[in-house]
A and B are shown apart, each in its own frame.
Chain A
């Protein structure tokens, strides 16, 4: 293979890995949008909050330590004197999942329940409020400093892959092999597993059918005895778990910090591409944007001075809005009279 081709392949591969992340965040949006018609602006902050909580448990932080110290003049930060020894990672993940489920319950109880039958824009505004609230609440609970997240997931370039790809180049060139981060591969594998599990769950279980039923027709769902409130709690819980997975992946890469919540902004073009109501759309859309922005940067970037990754996704989305507003897989909106 020529060097040119190999380099392009490498870019595509890395694009796919980034795309998986975008897909995950977009997936959280789609789940909630389908079930409750809410465009959940807080999805990104949910990623941040989940990751903060996980790190907090894992490193043995005391929640609201700062608040407690200010009020009582104490100096508590960790509940174990040994800073490195918080809690087993697995246990921390389980506890974080429980926190996210609790959060879903609170959102239903104090937000959604009071906004039933309101216009979508009002629900949207409510989730903006929720995003700000969670951001502040997360800070208060766990502190605002940047925290490394280490769950023991391997990271760094894969030597094996480098060796394998090195032999693909034409014999005389000095090709050193393809770079791929093992962490990205793990992220991709976990994301794929998550999507498979969710799909199986929604296809073959009672609650899965109820979720699809609610997404399909609220009125009919009520008639067969499905409680919308229960479904909302379940959907927000699932979105919370998806957020946790996304949060772990991004957090392992670049630390848990505020910018994590901004990946939600990248999900928007993904949704415009994939359609707001399509789960396959979210996945494919994420991959297209991931690959697209990397390839664009690789080919066109040098001509325009680089940094195209910041805006490419939005421009692509804009084109989609003009030519295919319902997205790749979204249902065409036809009013039946």
Chain B
């Protein structure tokens, strides 16, 4: 392994990651990778360390050991906002929207990494700043159409029902046009119909925008349908890694996870 950028078909490589809080080990020696343009599921029981893994990938947590390679480069900068600018967008298990802002403004804020006129042009709101606003506004309107949220464009998102908030949060992540999209339980707490819509969106995003997706999900049906490959975590260890079929038939996984009824 040299210092040359390693351009291969892996978008993200997680190597030997260990993370602990105080004395509590949350992840131990986890390695896996995400190919360009695939949908990669991360599954495992509650407390397995799935969300912690996403928090490491987008820079909220800093592992004590291990490396992250993104887009052929070993990560050196670790600040979340810089990682966002490198092309990683995400949603949260417990929704982190700008609650006082409208759907439109949430999505426009999601595009912030793509906008670069300086503050003085913005203050004048003329010339480059105006052109940029209009151009990005168009892109955001496309996303709004795609997610079918036209009717709530101007609604402060704090007032929306839970399922809609999840959808807006996805929209904000899409607005960044990131290379890698991290979705932490995008369907949790949704009814069947909302889940089907969300599945559709995820597949379409993956197809139409060529976005690579890492997905945490508890619903096994959804995972088997959506994902190309699955990594299984259990109490901070990696249990299995492979196609949905391989994982489903893996005896350790059945014993530890799939065998037991999971809520």
Contacts and interface: CB of A to CB of B under 8 A. Distances in A.
Interface of A: 200-201, 204-210, 212-213, 216-217, 219-228, 234
A204 B108 CA distance: 10
A96 B8 CA distance: 53
A212 B112 contact: no
Contact of B109 (A210, A228, A234): A210
A223 B95 CA distance: 12
A220 B172 CA distance: 10
Contacts of A201: 122-123
B113 interface: yes
Which of A200, A208, A225 has the largest count of B CB atoms less than 10 A from its CB?
Answer: A225
Contacts of B113: 224-225
B98 A212 contact: yes
Contacts of B101: 209, 212-213, 216
B110 interface: yes
29 contacts: A201-B122, A204-B125, A205-B122, A206-B115, A206-B132, A206-B133, A207-B119, A207-B122, A209-B105, A210-B112, A212-B100, A212-B105, A213-B101, A216-B98, A219-B60, A220-B92, A220-B96, A221-B98, A222-B79, A222-B84, A224-B84, A224-B89, A224-B176, A225-B84, A225-B176, A226-B109, A226-B112, A227-B81, A234-B119
Contacts of A216: 98-101
Contacts of A234: 119
> Which 7 A-B residue pairs are closest in the complex by CB-CB distance?
A225-B84, A220-B96, A225-B113, A205-B122, A216-B98, A222-B80, A225-B85
A201 B120 CA distance: 11
B122 A224 contact: no
A190 to B, nearest CB: 17
Nearest to B87: A225
Interface residues of B, number: 34
Contact of B58 (A207, A208, A223): A223
B196 to A, nearest CB: 27
Contact of B108 (A209, A219, A222, A227): A209
Contacts of B214: none
B97 interface: yes
B172 A224 contact: yes
B109 A222 contact: no
A204 B112 contact: no
B213 interface: no
B119 A220 contact: no
B105 A220 contact: no
A222 B123 CA distance: 23
Contacts of A208: 122
Given A205-B122, A209-B109, A213-B109, A226 B81 contact: yes
Nearest to A204: B125
A223 B96 contact: yes
> Binding site of A, secondary structure by majority: helix, strand, loop or mixed?
helix
A328 to B, nearest CB: 17
B195 to A, nearest CB: 24
A207 B123 CA distance: 9
Contacts of B133: 204-206
B100 A222 contact: no
Nearest to A220: B96
B26 interface: no
A223 B87 CA distance: 11
Contacts of A213: 98, 101, 109
B125 A205 contact: yes
Nearest to A218: B96
A327 to B, nearest CB: 16
B257 to A, nearest CB: 28
Contacts of B97: 217, 220
B32 to A, nearest CB: 22
A146 B132 CA distance: 48
Given A212-B98, A212-B100, A216-B101, A224 B109 contact: yes
A179 B81 CA distance: 55
Nearest to A277: B100
Nearest to A215: B100
Contacts of A207: 119, 122
B96 A219 contact: yes
B63 to A, nearest CB: 18
Contacts of A204: 125, 133
Contacts of A205: 122-123, 125, 129, 133
A10 B179 CA distance: 64
A211 to B, nearest CB: 10
Contacts of B85: 225
Interface in B120-138: 122-123, 125, 129, 132-133
A225 B83 CA distance: 7
A207 B129 CA distance: 11
Nearest to B90: A223
A219 B176 CA distance: 16
B142 interface: no
A220 B94 CA distance: 11
A215 B208 CA distance: 34
A88 to B, nearest CB: 22
A240 to B, nearest CB: 15
A220 B115 CA distance: 18
